[in-house]
Amino acid sequence: MSRRRRRKRGPRGSSIRVTRTRGSGSGQTSSYSTGGLSITGLSPTGRIAGSRPTIRATVRDQGTSLSKRDIRLYLNGSEKSRFHYDPSSGQLSYYVGNALPPGTHEVKIEAESRSSQSQAQVGGKSSKRWTFTVARR
């Protein structure tokens, strides 16, 4: 298992942490957080057998509650609005209704939050992009 970790200081002292873990098919590959906003638990990843997967992620903001309207989900560049998001657990899921053709497919999740830190308002944005491959039958 290899790990890569990078810390960087961004605008107004916000921190960015990128962690990548490669292992044997765990399906949980990486996380990205900006301040308290994080997108983790991404799936599917790698090569999959079915052509109608359920896309999953955990989207959370420490200190505030996100809602579905704070999140955008894209599959192969097309925005999807019919995903489920549970604000209490941060679990996002989207069932792909139409069969995907064999090949590589890209998922992108964008989240934006507005939280108060002391008396100042601080906004957070995070974006995560990954791919998976539908195997030929």
The rounded percent of the chain whose pLDDT value lies above 70 is: 67
pLDDT for the residue numbered 62? 81
DSSP structure class, residue 95 = E
What pLDDT, in 10s, does the model give residues 35-61? 589 999 999 999 999 999 999 999 999
Distance CA 89, CA 56 (A): 13
CB-based contact 131:104 (threshold 8 Å):
yes
Tokens of 97: 């209704």
Torsion sign over Cα 113, 111, 13, 11: negative
Spell out the domain ranges in the chain.
35-134
Task: State the chain's mean pLDDT as an integer.
Answer: 79
Fold of 35-134: Immunoglobulin-like (2.60.40)
Distance CA 114, CA 42 (A): 23
Peptide bond into 11 cis (omega under 30): no
